[in-house]
């Protein structure tokens, strides 16, 4: 999390970064890898519920698509990702020239910031919004404007005011559902928000978890507003986090700009083929959604029984309130269960838990019970 001070940065001697704010950045904190826990604590039977990955893996159809590429690895991928874009165009009912592919959706968030935000500009995002937005402001030497959250979610009225108060705002980032809180905005609220901000402000809807809330559909915004971008990923419900594929939907003019900024081969040959196969298997996504919903209900019941408060989530993770979260997190790690502490978000009393499959969730709850009882 970006909490380190400039004084903690290594000395660059005579060198200086492009912006002082880069020195305030701390590397993005990823969920602890399983191998690291095994190395550190000697635990082998590890359950990782820390990075909102899909515990069911990916569609079996992806394996064949990947295998077909293995003889072609000496060749660069299609730099335009034609077949994946064609499939996405059919899937989202948008013209192919409105699509930009990314090395994960994080790549697209980065490309968006680099394309539109200079050091005199501002980026608006919510308190408890996905941490990468504030990092992007620092990377661009721009002003990051964090708007206080409302019941852990986006306060769109306050965000609209922040845009009105800061004429240099270039991008508003909105994660829907939001990570780490799992909150979801109603489409009507989002429509009103987009309609109320100047057309010179890009509204980026980060829909990394949208497959888990199919009732939310904001795709129509793109038909009406040229300043809306929707960013999605194959890392979550599609189960391809290890391959790094994401996409952005926008006006053709914005896509044209993003495609100039992105690296020529930013999605690998294997990634392109795997994503197209994953997209074609929507019955797998339905199964994932159903399993997640059932397991989410089960976890909610367990938290209720343990007297732990949680935030109702529209994604594949849930935030649970727990006293001395850092101590509990450490005890969970020592017993081979990886969840995500949220200190970097200023949520010291909360842990974020990815919804696993039944066996993993049972292990989490059993371990949690034993820790809480032992206290
Ligand atoms: C809200 C949100 N957006 C974007 C991302 C980036 O994911 P990826 O780069 O794997 O697509 C994440 C990952 O955790 C996320 O939670």
Atom of ligand 1 nearest to the CA of 177: 1
CB of residue 208 inside a 6 A radius of ligand 1: yes
* pLDDT tens digits along 70-107: 999 999 999 999 999 999 999 999 999 999 999 999 99
Structure tokens at 309: 């408060």
Query: Which of 264, 280, 296 is the endpoint of a domain?
Result: 280
CB of residue 316 inside a 6 A radius of ligand 1: no
Atom of ligand 1 nearest to the CA of 180: 16
- The model's confidence at residue 4, banded by pLDDT at 50, 70 and 90, is very low
94 Cα: distance to centroid of ligand 1 (angstroms): 22
Distance CA 265, CA 262 (A): 8
Interhelix angle 187-196/156-165, nearest 10 degrees? 10
209 Cα: distance to centroid of ligand 1 (angstroms): 8
* pLDDT tens digits along 268-296: 999 999 999 999 999 999 999 999 999 99
Instruction: Based on the fold, state whether residues 268 and 301 are members of the same structural domain.
Output: no
Find the domain containing 312 and state its range: 31-57+283-374
Instruction: Based on the fold, state whether residues 184 and 69 are members of the same structural domain.
Output: yes
Candidates 173, 234, 172; CA nearest to 209 is 234
Instruction: Based on the fold, state whether residues 70 and 154 are members of the same structural domain.
Output: yes
CB of residue 182 inside a 6 A radius of ligand 1: no
CB of residue 241 inside a 6 A radius of ligand 1: yes
Q: What is the mean pLDDT of residues 318-323?
A: 97
Long-range contacts of 87-91 (CB under 8 A, 24+ apart): 87/276, 87/279, 87/280, 88/247, 88/279, 91/279
Looking at residue 375, its pLDDT comes to: 61
Instruction: Based on the fold, state whether residues 292 and 225 are members of the same structural domain.
Output: no
Roughly how many angstroms between the first and final C-alpha of the chain, as a whole number? 29
CB of residue 179 inside a 6 A radius of ligand 1: yes
Between strands 202-206 and 169-175, the pairing is parallel
* Residues 149 and 345 sit within 8 Å (Cβ to Cβ): no
106 Cα: distance to centroid of ligand 1 (angstroms): 6
Distance CA 323, CA 329 (A): 11
350 has a pLDDT exceeding 50: yes
208 Cα: distance to centroid of ligand 1 (angstroms): 6
Instruction: Based on the fold, state whether residues 339 and 260 are members of the same structural domain.
Output: no
Distance CA 85, CA 78 (A): 11
Instruction: Based on the fold, state whether residues 223 and 352 are members of the same structural domain.
Output: no
238 Cα: distance to centroid of ligand 1 (angstroms): 13
CB of residue 106 inside a 6 A radius of ligand 1: yes
Residue 178 CA from chain centroid, whole number: 8
Atom of ligand 1 nearest to the CA of 233: 11
Q: Is residue 17 part of a domain?
A: no
User: Which of the 8 DSSP states describes residue 148?
Assistant: P
Q: What is the 3-state secondary structure (H, E, C) of 173-212?
A: EEECCCCCCCCCCCHHHHHHHHHHCCCCCEEEEECCCHHH
* pLDDT tens digits along 113-125: 999 999 999 999 9
* Residues 33 and 46 sit within 8 Å (Cβ to Cβ): no
Q: Is residue 10 part of a domain?
A: no
The number of beta carbons lying within 10 Å of the beta carbon of residue 215 is 8
- For residue 310, which phi and psi values (nearest 5 degrees)? -145, 165
Q: Is residue 142 part of a domain?
A: yes
* pLDDT tens digits along 106-165: 999 999 999 999 999 999 999 999 999 999 999 999 999 999 999 999 999 999 999 999
Instruction: Based on the fold, state whether residues 173 and 308 are members of the same structural domain.
Output: no
Instruction: Based on the fold, state whether residues 224 and 325 are members of the same structural domain.
Output: no
Instruction: Based on the fold, state whether residues 96 and 245 are members of the same structural domain.
Output: yes
Query: What CATH number does the domain containing 345 carry?
Result: 3.90.1150.10
Query: Which of 240, 263, 280 is the endpoint of a domain?
Result: 280
Query: Which of 247, 262, 280 is the endpoint of a domain?
Result: 280
The number of beta carbons lying within 10 Å of the beta carbon of residue 180 is 26
Q: Is residue 6 part of a domain?
A: no
């Amino acid at each position: 999390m970006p909490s380190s001070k400039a004084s903690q940065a290594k000395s660059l001697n005579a060198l200086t970064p492009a912006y002082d704010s880069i020195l305030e950045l701390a590397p993005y904190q990823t969920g602890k890898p399983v191998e690291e826990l095994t190395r550190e604590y000697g635990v082998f039977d590890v359950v990782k519920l820390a990075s909102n990955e899909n515990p069911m893996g990916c569609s079996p159809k992806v394996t064949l698509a990947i295998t077909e590429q293995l003889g072609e690895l000496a060749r660069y991928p299609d730099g335009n990702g034609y077949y994946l874009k064609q499939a996405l165009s059919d899937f989202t009912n948008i013209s192919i020239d409105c699509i930009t592919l990314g090395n994960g959706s994080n790549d697209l968030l980065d490309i968006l910031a680099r394309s539109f935000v200079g050091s005199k500009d501002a980026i608006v995002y919510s308190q408890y919004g996905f941490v990468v937005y504030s990092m992007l402001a620092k990377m661009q030497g721009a002003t990051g404007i964090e708007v206080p959250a409302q019941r852990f979610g986006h306060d769109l009225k306050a965000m609209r005011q922040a845009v009105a108060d800061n004429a240099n705002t270039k991008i508003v980032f909105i994660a829907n559902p939001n990570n780490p809180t799992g909150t979801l905005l109603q489409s009507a609220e989002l429509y009103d928000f987009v309609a109320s901000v100047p057309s010179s402000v890009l509204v980026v809807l980060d829909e990394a978890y949208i497959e888990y809330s199919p009732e939310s559909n904001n795709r129509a915004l793109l038909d009406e507003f040229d300043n809306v971008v929707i960013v999605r990923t194959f890392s979550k419900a599609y189960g391809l986090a290890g391959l790094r594929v994401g996409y952005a939907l926008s006006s053709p003019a914005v896509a044209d700009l993003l495609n100039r900024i992105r690296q020529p081969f930013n999605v690998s040959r294997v990634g392109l083929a795997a994503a197209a196969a994953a997209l074609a298997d929507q019955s797998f996504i339905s199964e994932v959604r159903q399993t997640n919903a059932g397991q989410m209900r089960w976890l909610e019941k367990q938290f209720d029984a343990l007297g732990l408060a949680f935030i109702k989530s529209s994604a594949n993770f849930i935030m649970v309130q727990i006293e001395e979260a850092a101590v509990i997190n450490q005890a969970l790690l020592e017993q081979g269960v990886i969840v995500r502490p949220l200190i970097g978000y200023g949520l010291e009393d909360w842990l974020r838990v990815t919804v696993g499959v039944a066996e993993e969730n049972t292990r989490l709850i059993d371990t949690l019970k034993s820790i809480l009882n032992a206290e």
